[in-house]
Amino acid sequence: MYSLSALFLLFSLFLDTPQPYNIMDSGGPLMPEQAAYNVHFYDLHFQVQPEDSFLIGTTVIHAHVKEHLPVIKVDFDTVFVVHSVRFLTPDDIEVSDYSMPDGLLRIRPEFPFQAGEKFAVEITYSGKPRIADNPPWSGGFTWSKTPDGDPFIGVSCQGNGANIWWPNKDHPSDRADSVAVTVRVPDFLTAVSNGRFRGSEFHEDGTKTFRWFTSTPINNYAVSINIAPYEVIEDSFVSVAGDTVPVYFWHLPGNRRKAENLLVDAMDQMAHFEKLLGPYPFRADKYGIVEAPFFGMEHQTLIAYGAGFQNDTVFRTGSEFDDLHHHELAHEWWGNMVAASDWKDFWIHEGFGTYMQPLYAEYLRGDAQYRHFMRMIRDRINNDYAVAPQEPMSASEMFRGRDPYMKGAWVLHMLRYQMGDDNFFTLLRRFAYPDPEMEKITDGSHMRHVTTDEFIALAEEIHGKDLSWFFEMYLRQPNLPRLIHRREGSRLMMYWQTPDNMPFHMPVQVQLAGNVITVPVSNSWTSVQLGPVQDYKIDPNDWILFWRR
Protein backbone atom coordinates (compact mmCIF):
# COMPACT_ATOMS: atom_id res chain seq x y z
CA MET A 1 0.00 0.00 0.00
CA TYR A 2 1.28 3.47 -0.84
CA SER A 3 1.98 5.87 1.99
CA LEU A 4 0.24 9.26 1.97
CA SER A 5 3.55 10.94 1.14
CA ALA A 6 4.13 8.56 -1.78
CA LEU A 7 0.64 9.25 -3.11
CA PHE A 8 1.20 12.99 -2.85
CA LEU A 9 4.53 12.60 -4.72
CA LEU A 10 2.83 10.63 -7.50
CA PHE A 11 0.07 13.28 -7.71
CA SER A 12 2.66 16.05 -7.92
CA LEU A 13 4.55 14.23 -10.66
CA PHE A 14 1.31 13.82 -12.59
CA LEU A 15 0.63 17.55 -12.32
CA ASP A 16 4.13 18.39 -13.52
CA THR A 17 4.11 15.94 -16.44
CA PRO A 18 3.07 17.64 -19.69
CA GLN A 19 -0.26 16.20 -20.82
CA PRO A 20 -1.43 16.04 -24.46
CA TYR A 21 -2.76 19.47 -25.32
CA ASN A 22 -4.02 21.23 -28.42
CA ILE A 23 -3.25 24.95 -28.32
CA MET A 24 -5.59 25.70 -31.22
CA ASP A 25 -8.67 24.20 -29.57
CA SER A 26 -10.89 24.93 -26.59
CA GLY A 27 -13.31 23.08 -24.37
CA GLY A 28 -13.53 19.31 -24.10
CA PRO A 29 -13.30 17.49 -20.76
CA LEU A 30 -12.40 19.99 -18.04
CA MET A 31 -9.05 19.32 -16.39
CA PRO A 32 -9.33 18.70 -12.62
CA GLU A 33 -6.83 21.49 -11.96
CA GLN A 34 -9.06 23.93 -13.84
CA ALA A 35 -12.31 22.61 -12.38
CA ALA A 36 -10.79 23.46 -8.98
CA TYR A 37 -11.10 27.22 -9.55
CA ASN A 38 -13.58 29.66 -11.09
CA VAL A 39 -12.64 33.03 -12.57
CA HIS A 40 -14.81 35.99 -11.62
CA PHE A 41 -12.83 38.89 -13.14
CA TYR A 42 -10.20 39.38 -15.86
CA ASP A 43 -8.24 42.64 -15.97
CA LEU A 44 -6.65 42.78 -19.43
CA HIS A 45 -4.03 45.28 -20.58
CA PHE A 46 -2.67 45.34 -24.15
CA GLN A 47 -0.23 47.48 -26.04
CA VAL A 48 -0.71 46.85 -29.74
CA GLN A 49 2.12 47.77 -32.12
CA PRO A 50 0.76 47.75 -35.69
CA GLU A 51 4.16 48.49 -37.26
CA ASP A 52 5.54 45.07 -36.32
CA SER A 53 2.33 43.15 -35.47
CA PHE A 54 3.47 42.88 -31.87
CA LEU A 55 1.47 42.55 -28.67
CA ILE A 56 2.59 43.38 -25.12
CA GLY A 57 0.12 42.24 -22.50
CA THR A 58 -0.70 41.89 -18.85
CA THR A 59 -3.54 39.71 -17.63
CA VAL A 60 -4.73 39.64 -14.03
CA ILE A 61 -6.92 36.64 -13.19
CA HIS A 62 -9.14 37.02 -10.13
CA ALA A 63 -10.58 33.68 -9.06
CA HIS A 64 -11.98 31.74 -6.15
CA VAL A 65 -10.89 28.22 -5.26
CA LYS A 66 -13.39 25.36 -5.11
CA GLU A 67 -11.04 22.49 -4.22
CA HIS A 68 -7.47 21.86 -3.06
CA LEU A 69 -5.29 23.55 -5.70
CA PRO A 70 -1.51 22.96 -5.66
CA VAL A 71 -1.01 24.00 -9.30
CA ILE A 72 -2.96 26.58 -11.30
CA LYS A 73 -3.25 25.69 -14.97
CA VAL A 74 -3.85 28.54 -17.41
CA ASP A 75 -4.26 28.12 -21.18
CA PHE A 76 -1.86 30.26 -23.22
CA ASP A 77 -0.36 30.13 -26.69
CA THR A 78 3.31 29.19 -26.99
CA VAL A 79 4.00 32.01 -29.48
CA PHE A 80 4.28 34.35 -26.49
CA VAL A 81 7.07 34.80 -23.98
CA VAL A 82 5.94 35.00 -20.36
CA HIS A 83 8.09 37.59 -18.59
CA SER A 84 6.74 37.36 -15.06
CA VAL A 85 4.07 35.80 -12.90
CA ARG A 86 3.14 37.17 -9.49
CA PHE A 87 0.35 36.83 -6.99
CA LEU A 88 -1.20 40.16 -6.09
CA THR A 89 -1.05 40.16 -2.31
CA PRO A 90 0.06 42.83 0.16
CA ASP A 91 3.59 41.60 -0.59
CA ASP A 92 3.11 41.17 -4.38
CA ILE A 93 4.84 37.80 -4.40
CA GLU A 94 6.60 37.03 -7.69
CA VAL A 95 6.43 33.37 -8.65
CA SER A 96 9.55 31.63 -9.85
CA ASP A 97 7.98 28.20 -10.11
CA TYR A 98 6.07 28.32 -13.38
CA SER A 99 6.46 26.66 -16.76
CA MET A 100 4.70 26.55 -20.12
CA PRO A 101 6.09 23.69 -22.23
CA ASP A 102 2.99 22.98 -24.29
CA GLY A 103 0.44 25.79 -24.13
CA LEU A 104 -0.54 25.20 -20.52
CA LEU A 105 0.97 27.71 -18.12
CA ARG A 106 1.54 25.86 -14.84
CA ILE A 107 1.81 28.16 -11.84
CA ARG A 108 2.76 26.65 -8.49
CA PRO A 109 2.10 28.87 -5.45
CA GLU A 110 4.32 28.59 -2.41
CA PHE A 111 1.50 26.80 -0.57
CA PRO A 112 -1.49 25.07 -2.19
CA PHE A 113 -4.71 27.04 -2.21
CA GLN A 114 -7.63 25.53 -0.31
CA ALA A 115 -11.36 25.57 -1.01
CA GLY A 116 -12.89 28.94 -0.18
CA GLU A 117 -9.73 30.95 -0.77
CA LYS A 118 -9.32 33.59 -3.49
CA PHE A 119 -6.31 34.54 -5.57
CA ALA A 120 -5.29 37.19 -8.07
CA VAL A 121 -2.40 36.28 -10.34
CA GLU A 122 -0.77 38.70 -12.79
CA ILE A 123 0.87 37.40 -15.97
CA THR A 124 2.97 39.69 -18.19
CA TYR A 125 3.94 38.58 -21.67
CA SER A 126 4.76 39.69 -25.20
CA GLY A 127 5.03 38.33 -28.71
CA LYS A 128 3.55 38.20 -32.17
CA PRO A 129 0.08 36.64 -31.95
CA ARG A 130 -1.02 34.11 -34.49
CA ILE A 131 -2.34 35.51 -37.74
CA ALA A 132 -5.81 34.29 -38.72
CA ASP A 133 -5.52 32.81 -42.21
CA ASN A 134 -9.30 32.52 -42.69
CA PRO A 135 -11.02 34.70 -40.09
CA PRO A 136 -13.29 34.30 -38.26
CA TRP A 137 -13.24 30.53 -38.79
CA SER A 138 -9.54 30.22 -38.01
CA GLY A 139 -8.52 32.18 -34.96
CA GLY A 140 -5.96 34.92 -34.60
CA PHE A 141 -5.25 38.54 -35.40
CA THR A 142 -6.07 40.20 -38.70
CA TRP A 143 -3.54 42.95 -39.52
CA SER A 144 -5.11 44.79 -42.43
CA LYS A 145 -5.13 48.29 -43.91
CA THR A 146 -7.89 50.82 -44.52
CA PRO A 147 -8.32 52.21 -48.07
CA ASP A 148 -6.13 55.11 -46.90
CA GLY A 149 -3.37 52.75 -45.78
CA ASP A 150 -3.91 53.06 -42.02
CA PRO A 151 -3.89 50.07 -39.65
CA PHE A 152 -7.15 48.12 -39.53
CA ILE A 153 -6.89 45.42 -36.88
CA GLY A 154 -9.24 42.84 -35.41
CA VAL A 155 -9.13 39.55 -33.56
CA SER A 156 -11.40 36.50 -33.73
CA CYS A 157 -11.02 33.31 -31.72
CA GLN A 158 -14.30 31.48 -31.21
CA GLY A 159 -13.16 28.00 -32.22
CA ASN A 160 -9.53 28.24 -31.22
CA GLY A 161 -10.07 29.96 -27.91
CA ALA A 162 -9.04 33.28 -26.41
CA ASN A 163 -5.83 31.70 -25.13
CA ILE A 164 -4.30 32.47 -28.53
CA TRP A 165 -3.97 36.11 -27.45
CA TRP A 166 -4.35 36.30 -23.66
CA PRO A 167 -3.92 33.75 -20.83
CA ASN A 168 -7.14 32.39 -19.34
CA LYS A 169 -9.08 29.36 -18.25
CA ASP A 170 -10.25 28.50 -21.73
CA HIS A 171 -13.40 26.47 -21.20
CA PRO A 172 -16.99 27.52 -21.98
CA SER A 173 -18.21 26.36 -18.56
CA ASP A 174 -16.47 29.26 -16.82
CA ARG A 175 -17.07 32.83 -17.91
CA ALA A 176 -15.95 35.77 -15.82
CA ASP A 177 -18.58 37.93 -14.11
CA SER A 178 -16.90 41.02 -15.59
CA VAL A 179 -13.90 41.99 -17.72
CA ALA A 180 -11.85 45.19 -17.98
CA VAL A 181 -9.94 45.85 -21.20
CA THR A 182 -7.27 48.56 -21.51
CA VAL A 183 -5.67 49.06 -24.93
CA ARG A 184 -2.74 51.31 -25.85
CA VAL A 185 -2.28 52.13 -29.54
CA PRO A 186 -0.72 54.85 -31.74
CA ASP A 187 -2.61 58.05 -30.97
CA PHE A 188 -4.16 58.48 -34.43
CA LEU A 189 -6.08 55.21 -33.95
CA THR A 190 -9.11 54.28 -31.87
CA ALA A 191 -9.26 51.03 -29.89
CA VAL A 192 -12.79 49.70 -29.32
CA SER A 193 -13.79 46.86 -27.02
CA ASN A 194 -16.72 45.30 -25.20
CA GLY A 195 -18.88 47.01 -22.62
CA ARG A 196 -18.83 50.63 -21.49
CA PHE A 197 -16.20 53.20 -22.39
CA ARG A 198 -14.30 54.26 -19.26
CA GLY A 199 -12.14 57.01 -20.75
CA SER A 200 -8.89 57.57 -22.65
CA GLU A 201 -5.60 59.39 -22.23
CA PHE A 202 -2.74 60.54 -24.45
CA HIS A 203 0.91 59.75 -23.73
CA GLU A 204 4.06 61.67 -24.59
CA ASP A 205 5.36 58.80 -26.72
CA GLY A 206 2.61 59.31 -29.33
CA THR A 207 0.28 56.62 -28.04
CA LYS A 208 -3.20 56.69 -26.55
CA THR A 209 -4.88 54.40 -24.03
CA PHE A 210 -8.55 53.38 -24.19
CA ARG A 211 -10.31 51.79 -21.22
CA TRP A 212 -13.42 49.57 -21.43
CA PHE A 213 -15.42 47.60 -18.88
CA THR A 214 -17.95 44.78 -19.38
CA SER A 215 -20.25 44.65 -16.38
CA THR A 216 -21.92 41.28 -17.07
CA PRO A 217 -20.64 37.71 -17.60
CA ILE A 218 -18.90 37.18 -20.93
CA ASN A 219 -17.54 34.19 -22.84
CA ASN A 220 -13.77 34.36 -23.31
CA TYR A 221 -14.09 34.15 -27.09
CA ALA A 222 -16.51 37.10 -27.08
CA VAL A 223 -13.85 39.44 -25.62
CA SER A 224 -12.43 41.50 -28.47
CA ILE A 225 -10.54 44.56 -29.57
CA ASN A 226 -10.84 46.42 -32.88
CA ILE A 227 -8.37 49.11 -33.93
CA ALA A 228 -8.58 51.61 -36.80
CA PRO A 229 -8.95 55.38 -37.37
CA TYR A 230 -12.64 54.95 -36.58
CA GLU A 231 -15.36 57.55 -36.72
CA VAL A 232 -18.42 56.89 -34.59
CA ILE A 233 -22.19 57.31 -34.87
CA GLU A 234 -23.90 57.68 -31.49
CA ASP A 235 -27.57 56.95 -31.00
CA SER A 236 -29.91 55.17 -28.58
CA PHE A 237 -33.07 53.11 -28.48
CA VAL A 238 -35.73 52.45 -25.87
CA SER A 239 -35.96 48.76 -25.06
CA VAL A 240 -39.24 46.92 -24.50
CA ALA A 241 -38.07 46.77 -20.87
CA GLY A 242 -38.20 50.59 -20.75
CA ASP A 243 -34.43 51.19 -20.58
CA THR A 244 -32.72 53.68 -22.87
CA VAL A 245 -29.79 51.83 -24.42
CA PRO A 246 -26.75 53.64 -25.89
CA VAL A 247 -25.97 52.66 -29.48
CA TYR A 248 -22.63 53.10 -31.30
CA PHE A 249 -21.41 52.28 -34.79
CA TRP A 250 -17.65 52.61 -35.28
CA HIS A 251 -17.04 52.82 -39.00
CA LEU A 252 -14.12 53.58 -41.29
CA PRO A 253 -13.74 57.10 -42.72
CA GLY A 254 -15.90 57.48 -45.81
CA ASN A 255 -18.53 54.92 -44.74
CA ARG A 256 -20.76 57.12 -42.59
CA ARG A 257 -23.79 57.12 -44.87
CA LYS A 258 -23.64 53.35 -45.33
CA ALA A 259 -23.30 52.90 -41.58
CA GLU A 260 -26.28 55.18 -40.93
CA ASN A 261 -28.42 53.18 -43.35
CA LEU A 262 -27.42 49.89 -41.77
CA LEU A 263 -28.15 51.27 -38.32
CA VAL A 264 -31.74 52.07 -39.36
CA ASP A 265 -32.21 48.44 -40.44
CA ALA A 266 -30.40 47.21 -37.34
CA MET A 267 -32.88 49.01 -35.12
CA ASP A 268 -35.75 47.20 -36.86
CA GLN A 269 -33.94 43.90 -36.39
CA MET A 270 -33.45 44.74 -32.70
CA ALA A 271 -37.16 45.52 -32.29
CA HIS A 272 -38.10 42.18 -33.86
CA PHE A 273 -35.72 40.28 -31.58
CA GLU A 274 -37.11 42.04 -28.52
CA LYS A 275 -40.67 41.21 -29.55
CA LEU A 276 -39.75 37.57 -30.12
CA LEU A 277 -37.28 36.83 -27.33
CA GLY A 278 -37.50 39.59 -24.76
CA PRO A 279 -35.34 42.65 -24.11
CA TYR A 280 -31.82 43.13 -25.40
CA PRO A 281 -29.70 41.50 -22.66
CA PHE A 282 -26.88 44.06 -22.34
CA ARG A 283 -28.77 47.24 -21.69
CA ALA A 284 -26.38 48.13 -18.84
CA ASP A 285 -23.47 48.40 -21.29
CA LYS A 286 -24.29 49.19 -24.92
CA TYR A 287 -25.32 47.92 -28.31
CA GLY A 288 -22.31 48.33 -30.56
CA ILE A 289 -21.28 47.57 -34.13
CA VAL A 290 -17.73 47.97 -35.39
CA GLU A 291 -16.37 47.59 -38.90
CA ALA A 292 -13.95 44.68 -38.90
CA PRO A 293 -11.28 43.48 -41.35
CA PHE A 294 -12.98 40.07 -41.53
CA PHE A 295 -16.53 38.84 -42.20
CA GLY A 296 -18.06 39.01 -38.73
CA MET A 297 -18.32 37.75 -35.14
CA GLU A 298 -20.73 38.00 -32.21
CA HIS A 299 -18.43 39.78 -29.78
CA GLN A 300 -20.67 40.73 -26.86
CA THR A 301 -21.98 44.32 -27.14
CA LEU A 302 -19.59 44.85 -30.07
CA ILE A 303 -20.67 43.03 -33.22
CA ALA A 304 -17.74 42.72 -35.60
CA TYR A 305 -19.16 43.61 -39.01
CA GLY A 306 -17.38 43.03 -42.31
CA ALA A 307 -20.10 42.25 -44.86
CA GLY A 308 -19.50 45.40 -46.87
CA PHE A 309 -22.96 46.86 -46.18
CA GLN A 310 -24.52 44.28 -48.50
CA ASN A 311 -27.68 42.22 -47.96
CA ASP A 312 -27.86 38.42 -48.20
CA THR A 313 -24.12 37.82 -47.86
CA VAL A 314 -24.50 34.76 -45.59
CA PHE A 315 -27.41 32.69 -46.96
CA ARG A 316 -28.04 34.33 -50.36
CA THR A 317 -31.80 33.71 -50.20
CA GLY A 318 -32.90 37.05 -51.66
CA SER A 319 -34.55 37.99 -48.37
CA GLU A 320 -33.36 41.59 -48.72
CA PHE A 321 -31.86 42.25 -45.30
CA ASP A 322 -28.35 42.23 -43.86
CA ASP A 323 -28.30 38.63 -42.66
CA LEU A 324 -24.70 38.89 -41.39
CA HIS A 325 -25.60 41.61 -38.92
CA HIS A 326 -28.83 39.81 -38.06
CA HIS A 327 -27.03 36.54 -37.33
CA GLU A 328 -24.45 38.17 -35.08
CA LEU A 329 -27.15 40.16 -33.28
CA ALA A 330 -29.04 36.89 -32.64
CA HIS A 331 -26.05 35.73 -30.61
CA GLU A 332 -26.59 38.45 -28.05
CA TRP A 333 -29.46 36.21 -26.86
CA TRP A 334 -28.26 32.80 -28.08
CA GLY A 335 -24.62 32.45 -27.06
CA ASN A 336 -23.88 35.63 -25.12
CA MET A 337 -26.83 35.68 -22.71
CA VAL A 338 -27.86 32.02 -22.92
CA ALA A 339 -24.60 30.10 -23.25
CA ALA A 340 -23.64 26.44 -23.57
CA SER A 341 -21.42 25.17 -20.77
CA ASP A 342 -19.89 22.60 -23.13
CA TRP A 343 -19.33 22.68 -26.88
CA LYS A 344 -21.54 19.59 -27.24
CA ASP A 345 -24.48 21.99 -26.84
CA PHE A 346 -23.05 24.49 -29.31
CA TRP A 347 -26.15 24.12 -31.51
CA ILE A 348 -27.95 26.30 -28.95
CA HIS A 349 -25.66 29.14 -30.08
CA GLU A 350 -25.60 28.50 -33.79
CA GLY A 351 -28.77 26.57 -34.63
CA PHE A 352 -30.88 29.05 -32.69
CA GLY A 353 -28.90 31.97 -34.12
CA THR A 354 -29.38 30.65 -37.67
CA TYR A 355 -33.11 30.01 -37.26
CA MET A 356 -33.68 33.65 -36.34
CA GLN A 357 -32.88 34.69 -39.95
CA PRO A 358 -35.78 32.80 -41.63
CA LEU A 359 -38.07 34.06 -38.86
CA TYR A 360 -37.07 37.62 -39.74
CA ALA A 361 -37.55 36.88 -43.45
CA GLU A 362 -41.04 35.65 -42.59
CA TYR A 363 -41.71 38.90 -40.70
CA LEU A 364 -40.49 40.98 -43.66
CA ARG A 365 -41.84 39.07 -46.63
CA GLY A 366 -44.26 36.41 -45.47
CA ASP A 367 -44.63 32.64 -45.29
CA ALA A 368 -43.38 31.86 -48.82
CA GLN A 369 -40.03 33.55 -48.15
CA TYR A 370 -39.74 31.73 -44.84
CA ARG A 371 -40.19 28.36 -46.54
CA HIS A 372 -37.79 29.30 -49.33
CA PHE A 373 -35.21 30.22 -46.68
CA MET A 374 -35.71 26.89 -44.88
CA ARG A 375 -35.29 24.92 -48.11
CA MET A 376 -32.02 26.76 -48.80
CA ILE A 377 -30.81 25.87 -45.31
CA ARG A 378 -31.87 22.23 -45.79
CA ASP A 379 -29.71 21.96 -48.90
CA ARG A 380 -26.64 22.76 -46.74
CA ILE A 381 -27.18 19.99 -44.19
CA ASN A 382 -24.70 17.11 -44.34
CA ASN A 383 -25.96 14.79 -41.57
CA ASP A 384 -22.42 13.63 -40.89
CA TYR A 385 -22.30 13.91 -37.08
CA ALA A 386 -24.62 14.36 -34.12
CA VAL A 387 -25.74 17.95 -33.58
CA ALA A 388 -25.88 17.55 -29.77
CA PRO A 389 -23.90 14.50 -28.59
CA GLN A 390 -24.10 13.40 -24.97
CA GLU A 391 -20.37 13.37 -24.19
CA PRO A 392 -18.19 16.50 -23.68
CA MET A 393 -16.76 17.96 -26.89
CA SER A 394 -14.03 20.39 -27.85
CA ALA A 395 -14.68 23.29 -30.19
CA SER A 396 -12.86 21.62 -33.09
CA GLU A 397 -15.08 18.54 -32.80
CA MET A 398 -18.25 20.63 -33.07
CA PHE A 399 -16.94 23.19 -35.59
CA ARG A 400 -15.97 20.62 -38.20
CA GLY A 401 -19.15 21.01 -40.22
CA ARG A 402 -22.28 23.11 -40.77
CA ASP A 403 -24.84 20.87 -39.12
CA PRO A 404 -24.96 22.63 -35.71
CA TYR A 405 -26.00 25.71 -37.73
CA MET A 406 -28.19 24.30 -40.50
CA LYS A 407 -29.61 21.13 -38.99
CA GLY A 408 -29.93 22.94 -35.67
CA ALA A 409 -32.15 25.51 -37.39
CA TRP A 410 -34.22 22.73 -38.94
CA VAL A 411 -34.71 21.09 -35.55
CA LEU A 412 -36.40 24.31 -34.41
CA HIS A 413 -38.40 24.54 -37.64
CA MET A 414 -39.73 20.99 -37.13
CA LEU A 415 -40.37 21.64 -33.45
CA ARG A 416 -42.53 24.59 -34.47
CA TYR A 417 -44.55 22.20 -36.66
CA GLN A 418 -44.81 19.65 -33.88
CA MET A 419 -45.77 22.09 -31.09
CA GLY A 420 -47.75 24.73 -32.98
CA ASP A 421 -46.91 28.42 -33.13
CA ASP A 422 -48.30 29.46 -29.75
CA ASN A 423 -46.40 26.85 -27.78
CA PHE A 424 -43.26 27.13 -29.88
CA PHE A 425 -42.85 30.88 -29.53
CA THR A 426 -43.62 30.60 -25.83
CA LEU A 427 -40.77 28.06 -25.69
CA LEU A 428 -38.32 30.46 -27.35
CA ARG A 429 -39.26 33.30 -25.01
CA ARG A 430 -39.04 31.18 -21.88
CA PHE A 431 -35.76 29.59 -22.89
CA ALA A 432 -34.32 33.08 -23.26
CA TYR A 433 -35.98 34.43 -20.10
CA PRO A 434 -37.44 31.62 -17.91
CA ASP A 435 -39.27 34.11 -15.71
CA PRO A 436 -40.80 37.37 -17.00
CA GLU A 437 -39.30 39.09 -13.94
CA MET A 438 -35.85 38.33 -15.40
CA GLU A 439 -36.64 40.63 -18.31
CA LYS A 440 -36.21 43.60 -15.97
CA ILE A 441 -32.69 42.61 -14.87
CA THR A 442 -29.53 44.29 -16.19
CA ASP A 443 -26.91 43.27 -13.60
CA GLY A 444 -25.93 40.00 -15.29
CA SER A 445 -27.90 37.66 -13.04
CA HIS A 446 -30.24 36.98 -15.98
CA MET A 447 -27.38 35.32 -17.86
CA ARG A 448 -26.86 31.59 -17.51
CA HIS A 449 -25.38 28.39 -18.87
CA VAL A 450 -27.81 25.91 -20.40
CA THR A 451 -27.80 22.38 -21.77
CA THR A 452 -29.73 20.58 -24.48
CA ASP A 453 -31.42 18.48 -21.80
CA GLU A 454 -32.82 21.66 -20.20
CA PHE A 455 -34.23 22.77 -23.54
CA ILE A 456 -35.84 19.36 -24.10
CA ALA A 457 -37.40 19.41 -20.64
CA LEU A 458 -38.85 22.89 -21.22
CA ALA A 459 -40.21 21.91 -24.65
CA GLU A 460 -41.96 18.87 -23.16
CA GLU A 461 -43.34 20.93 -20.26
CA ILE A 462 -44.88 23.51 -22.62
CA HIS A 463 -46.05 20.96 -25.18
CA GLY A 464 -47.43 18.64 -22.51
CA LYS A 465 -46.17 15.55 -24.36
CA ASP A 466 -43.08 13.37 -24.55
CA LEU A 467 -40.67 14.56 -27.26
CA SER A 468 -37.72 12.28 -26.56
CA TRP A 469 -38.33 10.39 -29.82
CA PHE A 470 -37.97 13.66 -31.75
CA PHE A 471 -34.78 14.89 -30.09
CA GLU A 472 -33.11 11.47 -30.08
CA MET A 473 -33.61 11.26 -33.83
CA TYR A 474 -32.45 14.72 -34.80
CA LEU A 475 -29.93 15.75 -32.14
CA ARG A 476 -28.28 12.66 -30.65
CA GLN A 477 -27.31 10.85 -33.87
CA PRO A 478 -26.74 11.98 -37.47
CA ASN A 479 -28.87 9.72 -39.66
CA LEU A 480 -32.25 10.75 -41.03
CA PRO A 481 -35.45 8.69 -41.03
CA ARG A 482 -36.94 7.46 -44.31
CA LEU A 483 -40.62 7.79 -45.09
CA ILE A 484 -41.70 4.62 -46.88
CA HIS A 485 -44.91 5.17 -48.81
CA ARG A 486 -46.79 3.52 -51.64
CA ARG A 487 -50.26 3.40 -53.18
CA GLU A 488 -52.32 0.27 -52.72
CA GLY A 489 -55.49 0.66 -54.70
CA SER A 490 -57.36 3.61 -53.26
CA ARG A 491 -55.21 3.82 -50.17
CA LEU A 492 -51.88 5.50 -49.41
CA MET A 493 -49.67 3.37 -47.13
CA MET A 494 -46.88 4.99 -45.05
CA TYR A 495 -44.45 4.22 -42.23
CA TRP A 496 -41.20 5.62 -40.83
CA GLN A 497 -38.08 3.53 -41.34
CA THR A 498 -35.54 4.69 -38.76
CA PRO A 499 -31.86 4.08 -37.90
CA ASP A 500 -31.60 1.11 -35.52
CA ASN A 501 -35.41 0.97 -35.39
CA MET A 502 -35.55 4.10 -33.24
CA PRO A 503 -39.15 4.96 -32.25
CA PHE A 504 -40.45 7.89 -34.27
CA HIS A 505 -43.93 9.43 -34.30
CA MET A 506 -43.74 12.40 -36.65
CA PRO A 507 -47.11 13.23 -38.23
CA VAL A 508 -46.99 13.82 -41.97
CA GLN A 509 -48.96 16.32 -44.02
CA VAL A 510 -50.40 14.95 -47.28
CA GLN A 511 -51.87 17.12 -50.00
CA LEU A 512 -54.88 15.61 -51.74
CA ALA A 513 -56.12 17.85 -54.54
CA GLY A 514 -56.63 21.23 -52.82
CA ASN A 515 -56.73 19.85 -49.29
CA VAL A 516 -53.88 19.21 -46.85
CA ILE A 517 -54.48 16.61 -44.16
CA THR A 518 -52.18 15.62 -41.28
CA VAL A 519 -51.65 11.89 -40.84
CA PRO A 520 -50.22 10.26 -37.67
CA VAL A 521 -47.31 8.10 -38.83
CA SER A 522 -45.01 5.89 -36.77
CA ASN A 523 -42.80 2.83 -37.25
CA SER A 524 -45.66 0.66 -38.48
CA TRP A 525 -47.86 0.97 -41.55
CA THR A 526 -50.54 3.66 -41.58
CA SER A 527 -53.13 3.95 -44.35
CA VAL A 528 -54.94 6.95 -45.79
CA GLN A 529 -58.04 6.72 -47.98
CA LEU A 530 -57.31 8.51 -51.27
CA GLY A 531 -60.77 8.09 -52.76
CA PRO A 532 -61.06 9.40 -56.33
CA VAL A 533 -57.90 11.50 -55.94
CA GLN A 534 -55.11 10.13 -58.12
CA ASP A 535 -52.22 12.42 -57.15
CA TYR A 536 -50.88 13.22 -53.72
CA LYS A 537 -47.92 15.11 -52.32
CA ILE A 538 -46.03 14.22 -49.17
CA ASP A 539 -45.01 17.06 -46.83
CA PRO A 540 -46.13 19.82 -49.24
CA ASN A 541 -45.08 22.62 -46.86
CA ASP A 542 -41.58 21.22 -46.22
CA TRP A 543 -41.92 20.76 -42.46
CA ILE A 544 -39.97 17.54 -42.01
CA LEU A 545 -36.33 16.61 -42.46
CA PHE A 546 -36.15 13.09 -43.87
CA TRP A 547 -34.26 11.10 -46.47
CA ARG A 548 -35.69 12.22 -49.81
CA ARG A 549 -33.60 10.33 -52.35
**How many Cα atoms within 13 Å fall on the side-chain side of residue 305?**
30
d(CA 547, CA 473): 13
* pLDDT at residue 533, rounded to an integer: 66
* pLDDT at residue 29, rounded to an integer: 92
**Residue 479: φ, ψ to 5°:** -80, 145
d(CA 126, CA 545): 50
Low-confidence ranges of the chain (pLDDT < 70): 1-21, 23, 533, 549
* pLDDT at residue 475, rounded to an integer: 98
* pLDDT at residue 549, rounded to an integer: 57
d(CA 177, CA 434): 20
Residue 210 bridge partners (DSSP): 183, 200
d(CA 114, CA 180): 27
Distance of CA 67 to the CA centre of its chain: 29
Sheet containing 491-497: which strands, arranged edge to edge? Answer: 482-488, 491-497, 526-529
* pLDDT at residue 23, rounded to an integer: 67
* pLDDT at residue 531, rounded to an integer: 75
Contact 511, 492 (CB under 8 A): no
Closest alpha carbon to 300 in 191, 221, 395, 404: 221
* pTM of the entire predicted model: 0.94
**355 vs 327, 361, 362, 370, 392, CA distance in Å?**
9, 10, 11, 10, 24
